[in-house]
């Protein structure tokens, strides 16, 4: 029961961050600015992003619920807050402010933080680390998309 409550709490936090990020992105992918960018040939269709983030944040909530039963330190909380902040502001930086390079810096930092969470907690999470792996892999893809836009625009 305790694990379920933690899962629901992290699910609420994760989706609140996604929702806030969505509010901060302005017109986002439907803006003329974004539509006119030269994008990577491997850029997924728009609907994939919504599906992917739903899946990723659900897996991440399960990961954090389990991790929080094994590890609950100020260091972990600080790292998670940094992760949430970087996740939240990317939409604002990239879409709202149209700052491609700063968006790239943000998503690289976010990828590093998620990699740190994965690697730093692998010894205690073991098989449960599979739950954060999709988030990390998606961030690698997202970083490549942002980098492509930075290079060609």
What whole-number percentage of the chain has pLDDT above 70?
100
∠ CA 63-66-72, rounded to 5° = 110
∠ CA 76-60-89, rounded to 5° = 75
Tally Cβ neighbours within 10 Å of residue 22: 14
Over residues 9-65, the pLDDT tens digits come to: 999 999 999 999 999 998 989 999 999 999 999 999 989 999 999 999 999 999 999
What does the DSSP 8-state code read for residue 71? Answer: -
- CATH number, domain with residue 146: 1.20.1260.100
Question: Helix H segments across the chain?
Answer: 2-24, 32-35, 46-70, 74-91, 100-120, 122-125, 133-152
Domain count, the chain: 1
Q: Is the confidence at residue 1, as pLDDT, over 90? A: no
Average pLDDT over residues 54-80: 94
Domain of 38 in residue numbering reads as 2-152
């Amino acid at each position: 029961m305790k694990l379920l409550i933690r899962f629901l709490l992290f699910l609420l936090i994760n989706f609140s961050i996604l929702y806030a990020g969505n509010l901060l992105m302005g017109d986002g992918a439907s803006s003329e600015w974004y539509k006119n960018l030269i994008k990577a040939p491997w850029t997924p269709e728009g609907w994939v992003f919504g599906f992917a983030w739903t899946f990723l944040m659900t897996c991440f909530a399960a990961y954090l619920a389990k991790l929080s039963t094994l590890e609950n330190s100020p260091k972990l909380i600080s790292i998670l807050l940094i992760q949430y902040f970087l996740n939240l502001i990317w939409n604002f930086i990239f879409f709202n402010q149209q700052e491609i390079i700063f968006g790239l810096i943000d998503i690289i930092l976010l990828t590093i933080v998620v990699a740190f969470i994965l690697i730093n907690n692998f010894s205690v999470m073991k098989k449960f680390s599979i739950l954060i792996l999709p988030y990390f892999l998606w961030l690698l893809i997202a970083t490549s998309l942002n980098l492509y836009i930075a290079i060609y625009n």
